[in-house]
Amino acid sequence: MRVTLFIPCFIDSLYPHVGVAMVKVLERLGHEVLYPEGQTCCGQPPFNSGYWDEARVVASRQLEFFKDAEVVVSASGSCGAMFKVFFPQLFEGRPEEAAAKSLSSRCFEFSDFLVNRLNVRDVGARFEGKVTFHDGCHGLRELGTKQEPRELLRAVKGLELVEMGENESCCGFGGMFAVKYPEISTAMAEVKCNSILDTGVEYVVSNDSSCLMQIQGWLDRNSPRTVKSLHLAEVLANR
Amino acid sequence: MSTTQNQFHRDTERTTADVPRRAFVRKALRGYEVKRDETKATFTDWQKARNVAANIKYDGVNHLDRYLLEFEEKFTARGGKVFWASNSAQAREYVLQLARDRGVRSIIKSKAMTSEEIHLNDALESEGYQVVESDLGEFIQQLKHEPPYHFVFPCMHLKRDEISALFEKELGSAPTDSPEELTMIARGFMRRQYIDADMGISGGNFLVAETGMVSITENEGNARLTTGLPRIHVALVGIEKVLPKLSDLALFLPMLATAGTGQHMTCYNSMFGGARQPGETDGPEEFHVVLLDNHRTRLLADAEQRDALGCIRCGACLNVCPIFKNIGGHAYGTTYQGPIGSVITPHFRGLQDWKHLSGASSLCGACTDACPVKIDIHHHLLHNRRNAVDQKPVWWEKIVWFGYVQTMTRPWFLRIANKLAPLAQKLHPLVLGGIFDPVRNWTKTRDFPEVAEESFHDWWAKRKEQSK
Amino acid sequence: MKGDRDKILARIREGLSVPAPLHHEMPARVGQTAQEPAFRAWLPAVGASVEEQLALFAKQSDLLRTEFVLCADPKAAAAHVASLAAAHDWKKVGFHPGLLTGALMPYLPEDLEQMCVEEGYDKLALEACDAGITECEFLVAQTGSVCVTARSSGGRALSVLPPHHLVIASRDQLVADLSSAYQGLNAKYGAALPSFISFISGPSRTGDIERILVLGAHGPKKLTVFVVG
């Protein structure tokens, strides 16, 4: 299959290795990976801030870049939800509506794609370590992805998966919310991270790097060198 | 920034720093969540039940005029009086006038958020009426001169020693660390109040159109005593509370209990159809229902968010909300706290003054998942944000998003920014956390990840080059 | 005082002129005829036989801290009441006249004062009762609830003001669920429903202080249900 990657702007510059890992996993499974180089941002920051006009300008460019893709796989559940759930709303009643709906139907979050579209659970990965999984809220509730990443992790040799008490609680990132309401956002991170620390794991894994930026950011400041955060793709790429 | 928004920032800064109180509240709410999940699991199909409940509410709210008229007709036929109040002032004045006309001296109340909404107690007390809140939590908050912390659990933030000290100061009771003894102190105090009161004021969880009844859900029995013993009963109910049929309660009563407290059924679910009828032993001589609009029709006019009028005030969305858990109920500064409060308050009290509540959310969606009537709560927070901008954009935000659009529509510009970022980050420690730190709202409490020397875009381009 | 009836209705109608989108799927509204009980398909399951329903009612009663007593006849129930009266030193009980209460009251100890509420009553005197003995409309198996009305149960206060509420019901008053109870009320009263209907699920309770369960917040501290026959 020809798989077109959507590498959101912050992953491009802060976590490029997540994209690299996705390429590795998909190529290992025998798929051709494509990457439209003009892609930038899904438009979620202004969309979530209420500036839908600005969001549309940026979002409509992405519609162009992905219009011919057979399937689009997003490195982030949140940006994936933007494509899949919010683009059709953003362009409702506008000329781009059909294109937005079409992209929505072709777009997958990474774990959802592997499990539900490719029907793969064991990607042949090996990873030694005790791991807990953090559900990004957009992946969990907008896309309904809950068991998929866990099924993938359980198939990884050497990996022990432990659930945390607050596994469905928000980490407090929320995009612009994290800097507009830093006290609330940090309080949420504290609850989340303490729940992670309580499990005694070495790694916290998620299918959303934005959550991991928040979690790792809090851990580095408050509990350095205890738990390391990894994107699901990084674990699956490991052999 | 509006004064309400400033206040919110100040309050949340204070409440989020109160780590022990946050842990205390979180533990209590977690308890309700566990119990809710247990009870939910006994449903044959909770998700279908939610759909049907949402459907019935949709029917009710979207034919509100018809059902209100049906309610009025049936209720009046049984001797009840209906008063339609456009706003708080009208509703307050009606109750005051009634109290004056009937020579009322003392008033007992059961829990009614509508009464908090219109500040009824202040109005009654300023005219010299004695008003006592009979719900234990509300009574404690009344003694504390504090609004409810959570619209279902008014004093859930208080510890027993604080309540004991309050009772000692206000009622002269002996100190105790037993919740049971504290409850019995309130019980003892209240008994005489029920018997002496001339007027009982209640809220209402549902208005049944078919039979002209007000349905009230409670655990303590205080609403039954408030509505059963005094000679006048006044129910203060929002116009949106209609259910088409009496038998609809067979679904809503268990769902309300399950979603709210995790009970199968709340202890007392009572339906009141009129004052004492001929041949009945007791009951009030008069029964008045005040139907309160108070800007509910403004929310109704917003078709996109109209489903928010289906809210049955179970509190489920507060119980699961990470914002509520961390900032607490008082920080909202509203009658209705939590996610549903953040959705409806801008409609009730002005979008520009209350839009910050819709902004103060990570949009995690736990509320929407928990809602028994499937209100699209967290998406409505997005809608409020959009509507606030459409109505009145903020000039500096407009500039920020202009810059964003320029960057994100010019990939080459983004590439240059990515190239410069590692250098900028090396200089960052010079300003870190200070007022010149452009990302201090992040770096004050969290580390920022290192920008990669090579972006994914560059890695891809290089790889493509090599494979040629 | 004149309210804003017409203005509010006009605002509602104006608002409703724009139809609302649906945020959820719309299942058919089943079971809205009098013959077909609603909501049964989604709510907690209830067994079909009387034995199963009685067992469920007993289980729910236990969870709710209701004392549930199966008795051969009202006389046996009276013996139970007498033992409660002796154990808690009751002086006075309130009751209302009825078939079942009428069959029970004569068997109570003579030194236990009986106060009948039928012809009205003094509120303070009722408050001074140690217990209120009532009949009910239905017992609801699904939720362990006792359905009382102003008609069936001596008005509004008898079942809530005294600190112990005792209910005497016959086996055939047991119904499966709330839907059946509403159907039963409709069948019995038609349009002339009592002014007060209540589903009582256990003794009065609160968790307002630290979420710790306390029984007898304002209403009865104890609830006893006798099923006779």
Choose, out of C18, C43, C119, the residue to mutate when testing the contact with B (most B CBs < 10 Å): C43
For B345-406, list the strands marked E by DSSP.
Answer: none
- C182 and B249 in contact by Cβ < 8 A? yes
- A37 and B411 in contact by Cβ < 8 A? yes
Q: What is the pLDDT of residues B315-362, one digit of tens each?
A: 999 999 999 999 999 999 999 999 999 999 999 999 999 999 999 999
- Residue B384 has which token pair? 């409020």
B239 alpha carbon, distance to own chain's centre? 17
Residue C8 vs residues B81, B86, B96, C122: alpha-carbon distances, Å: 17, 7, 21, 42
- B418 and A13 in contact by Cβ < 8 A? yes
A170: chain B residues, CB-CB within 8 Å: 322, 362, 364, 366
Candidate from C160, C183, C212 with C-beta closest to B224: C160
Is the pLDDT score of C27 beyond 70? no
- B225 and C160 in contact by Cβ < 8 A? yes
- Residue B86 has which token pair? 């456009």
Strands B268-272 and B213-218, by their bridges, are antiparallel
A50: chain B residues, CB-CB within 8 Å: 382, 385-390
Is the pLDDT score of C30 beyond 50? no
Q: Which residues are registered as beta bridge partners of A2?
A: A32
- Residue B165 has which token pair? 């000290």
Residues B195 and B229: beta-carbon distance below 8 Å: yes
Candidate from C25, C200, C209 with C-beta closest to B183: C209
Please tell me the distance from the alpha carbon of residue C120 to that of residue B283, in angstroms, as a whole number: 10
- B228 and C196 in contact by Cβ < 8 A? yes
Choose, out of B19, B332, B355, B363, the residue to mutate when testing the contact with A (most A CBs < 10 Å): B363
Candidate from A19, A48, A181 with C-beta closest to B456: A19
**In terms of Cα–Cα distance, which of A136, A188, C210 is closest to B327?**
A188
Q: What is the pLDDT of residue C35?
A: 41
Determine the distance in angstroms separating the CA of A214 from the nearest CA of chain B, rounded to an integer.
7
Choose, out of B282, B287, B347, the residue to mutate when testing the contact with C (most C CBs < 10 Å): B282
Q: What percent of chain C has pLDDT over 90?
A: 86
Please tell me the distance from the alpha carbon of residue B272 to that of residue B218, in angstroms, as a whole number: 14
Q: Which residue does chain A place closest to B418, by CA atoms?
A: A13
| Higher-confidence position of C2 and C37 | C2
DSSP string spanning C120-174? ---HHHHHT-SEEEE--SEEETTTTEEEEETTTTTTTTTTTSSSEEEEEEEGGGE
Tell me phi and psi for residue A10, to 5 degrees: -75, -25
Three-state DSSP state, B208? strand
Determine the distance in angstroms separating the CA of C187 from the nearest CA of chain B, rounded to an integer.
13
- B376 and C23 in contact by Cβ < 8 A? yes
Please tell me the distance from the alpha carbon of residue A222 to that of residue B377, in angstroms, as a whole number: 33
Q: Which residue does chain C place closest to B31, by CA atoms?
A: C211
Please tell me the distance from the alpha carbon of residue B371 to that of residue B317, in angstroms, as a whole number: 6
Q: Which residue has the tokens 């969001």?
A: A55
Candidate from B390, B405, B418 with C-beta closest to A54: B405
Residues B124 and B131: beta-carbon distance below 8 Å: yes
Chains near A with 3+ CB pairs less than 8 A apart are B
Please, which pLDDT band fits residue C108 given cuts at 50, 70 and 90?
very high
Counted across chains A and B, CB pairs separated by less than 8 A come out at: 182
Count of Cβ atoms closer than 10 Å to residue B433 Cβ? 14
- Write the CB contacts of C58 (distance below 8 Å, at least 6 apart in sequence): C68
Q: What is the pLDDT of residues A168-227, one digit of tens each?
A: 999 999 999 999 999 999 999 999 999 999 999 999 999 999 999 999 999 999 999 899
Q: Which residues are registered as beta bridge partners of A128?
A: none
Q: What is the pLDDT of residue C118?
A: 87
Three-state DSSP state, B85? strand
Using the Cβ of A15 and the Cβ atoms of chain B, whether some distance falls under 8 Å is answered with yes
Q: Which residue does chain C place closest to B251, by CA atoms?
A: C39
- A11 and B456 in contact by Cβ < 8 A? yes
Determine the distance in angstroms separating the CA of B56 from the nearest CA of chain A, rounded to an integer.
24
- A137 and B382 in contact by Cβ < 8 A? no
Residues A153 and A122: beta-carbon distance below 8 Å: no
Torsion of CA B308, B311, B315, B319, to 10 degrees: -40
Please tell me the distance from the alpha carbon of residue B362 to that of residue B373, in angstroms, as a whole number: 22
Candidate from C20, C25, C201 with C-beta closest to B265: C201
B264: chain C residues, CB-CB within 8 Å: 44, 60, 63, 143-144, 201
Three-state DSSP state, C193? coil
Note which residues in 13-32 of chain B have CB less than 8 A from chain A.
13, 16-17, 22, 26
- Residue A199 has which token pair? 């499990």
**What's the complex ipTM?**
0.96
Q: Which residue has the tokens 């209907």?
A: C197
Determine the distance in angstroms separating the CA of A78 from the nearest CA of chain B, rounded to an integer.
10
Q: Which residues are registered as beta bridge partners of C148?
A: C198
- Residue A39 has which token pair? 């892609």
- B446 and A218 in contact by Cβ < 8 A? yes
B457: chain A residues, CB-CB within 8 Å: 7, 12, 37
C24: chain B residues, CB-CB within 8 Å: 50-51, 54-55, 374
Is the pLDDT score of C18 beyond 50? yes
- B388 and A16 in contact by Cβ < 8 A? no
- pTM (two decimals): 0.96
Please, which pLDDT band fits residue C28 given cuts at 50, 70 and 90?
low
**In terms of Cα–Cα distance, which of A78, A84, A75, A82 is closest to A22?**
A75
Q: Which residue has the tokens 């009129």?
A: B274
Is the pLDDT score of C31 beyond 70? no
Please tell me the distance from the alpha carbon of residue B300 to that of residue B401, in angstroms, as a whole number: 32
Chains near C with 3+ CB pairs less than 8 A apart are B
Determine the distance in angstroms separating the CA of B98 from the nearest CA of chain C, rounded to an integer.
9
Judged on CB neighbours under 10 Å (0-12, 13-18, 19+), C184 is middle
Determine the distance in angstroms separating the CA of B270 from the nearest CA of chain A, rounded to an integer.
36
For chain A, list the strands marked E by DSSP.
Answer: 2-6, 32-34, 71-74, 107-109, 126-134, 157-161, 203-206, 228-231
Residue B251 vs residues B19, B267, C38, C90: alpha-carbon distances, Å: 39, 16, 8, 39
Choose, out of B205, B220, B222, B368, the residue to mutate when testing the contact with C (most C CBs < 10 Å): B220
Per-residue pLDDT of chain B (468 residues; tens, 9 = 90+): 789 999 999 999 999 999 999 999 999 999 999 999 999 999 999 999 999 999 999 999 999 999 999 999 999 999 999 999 999 999 999 999 999 999 999 999 999 999 999 999 999 999 999 999 999 999 999 999 999 999 999 999 999 999 999 999 999 999 999 999 999 999 999 999 999 999 999 999 999 999 999 999 999 999 999 999 999 999 999 999 999 999 999 999 999 999 999 999 999 999 999 999 999 999 999 999 999 999 999 999 999 999 999 999 999 999 999 999 999 999 999 999 999 999 999 999 999 999 999 999 999 999 999 999 999 999 999 999 999 999 999 999 999 999 999 999 998 888 888 888 888 888 888 888 787 888 899 999 999 999 999 999 999 999 999 987
- A37 and B445 in contact by Cβ < 8 A? no
Note which residues in 376-405 of chain B have CB less than 8 A from chain A.
382, 385-390, 393, 397-398, 401-402, 404-405
Using the Cβ of B305 and the Cβ atoms of chain A, whether some distance falls under 8 Å is answered with no
Choose, out of C14, C23, C164, the residue to mutate when testing the contact with B (most B CBs < 10 Å): C23
Candidate from B46, B61, B283 with C-beta closest to C196: B283
Please tell me the distance from the alpha carbon of residue A58 to that of residue B145, in angstroms, as a whole number: 51
Instruction: Check the CA dihedral B236-B241-B246-B251 and report its sign.
Output: negative
Using the Cβ of A172 and the Cβ atoms of chain B, whether some distance falls under 8 Å is answered with yes
A39: chain B residues, CB-CB within 8 Å: 411
- C178 and B56 in contact by Cβ < 8 A? no
Q: Average pLDDT over chain C, rounded to whole?
A: 93
Please, which pLDDT band fits residue C32 given cuts at 50, 70 and 90?
very low
Judged on CB neighbours under 10 Å (0-12, 13-18, 19+), C189 is middle
Please tell me the distance from the alpha carbon of residue B152 to that of residue B111, in angstroms, as a whole number: 9
- Residue A155 has which token pair? 């198939």
B213: chain C residues, CB-CB within 8 Å: 193, 197
Please tell me the distance from the alpha carbon of residue C64 to that of residue B269, in angstroms, as a whole number: 15
Is the pLDDT score of C36 beyond 80? no
Q: Return the DSSP state at A143.
A: S
Q: What is the pLDDT of residues C133-168, one digit of tens each?
A: 999 999 999 999 999 999 999 999 999 999 999 999
Question: Kind and range of the H or E element at B5?
Answer: helix B3-17
- B386 and A61 in contact by Cβ < 8 A? no
Tell me phi and psi for residue A122, to 5 degrees: -95, 110
| Residue count (chain B) | 468
Low-confidence stretches of chain A (pLDDT beneath 70): none
Please tell me the distance from the alpha carbon of residue A78 to that of residue A74, in angstroms, as a whole number: 9
Choose, out of C7, C24, C61, C66, the residue to mutate when testing the contact with B (most B CBs < 10 Å): C24
